[in-house]
Amino acid sequence: MLPAVAEKLYLTVRNDMMDRLKKEEVDVHTSTKVLEITPTGVIAECNGEKVTLEGYDHIILALGSKPYVPFDTEGLAPEVYTVGDAVQARDAKWAIYEAYRVAQKI
């Protein structure tokens, strides 16, 4: 759905990756939202238009994620802390940092 691929990736790593994608003639669809996965491919929306993408052997989902806390933490224990992706899906350093802060506190 983002307008560019791996924008936050370290520049030289990104350049190398983009070169390889180009060399392998990989089709890249930015600003494209998958609406439905069908037996033959994917129906998506790109710039307000519905597009059908077909001809794949595999579909791999590597999507953003939402935080999920299924427990009612109220009254669960005298002190309950939520850290990491359960608060907000980010990268591992945030989970480590928050867990460290809580560990120091308790």
Ligand X SMILES: Cc1cc2nc3c(=O)[nH]c(=O)nc-3n(C[C@H](O)[C@H](O)[C@H](O)COP(=O)(O)OP(=O)(O)OC[C@H]3O[C@@H](n4cnc5c(N)ncnc54)[C@H](O)[C@@H]3O)c2cc1C
Residues in touch with ligand X (CB under 6 A): 62, 84-86, 90-93, 95
Q: With respect to ligand X, which residue has the nearer C-beta, 48 or 63?
A: 63
- The distance of closest approach from Cβ of residue 97 to ligand X in the complex, given in angstroms and rounded to an integer, is 11
Which of the 8 DSSP states describes residue 7? T
Distances (CA, A) of 89 to 63, 71, 79: 11, 17, 23
- What is the maximum span of the chain, computed from C-alpha positions, in angstroms? 57
Q: Taking the chain, what is the end-to-end CA distance rounded to the nearest angstrom?
A: 40
Q: With respect to ligand X, which residue has the nearer C-beta, 5 or 95?
A: 95
Q: With respect to ligand X, which residue has the nearer C-beta, 45 or 85?
A: 85
Which of the 8 DSSP states describes residue 89? -
Q: Which residue is nearest to ligand X (CB)?
A: 84
Extract the tokens encoding 89: 């899906």
- The distance of closest approach from Cβ of residue 25 to ligand X in the complex, given in angstroms and rounded to an integer, is 24
- The distance of closest approach from Cβ of residue 100 to ligand X in the complex, given in angstroms and rounded to an integer, is 12
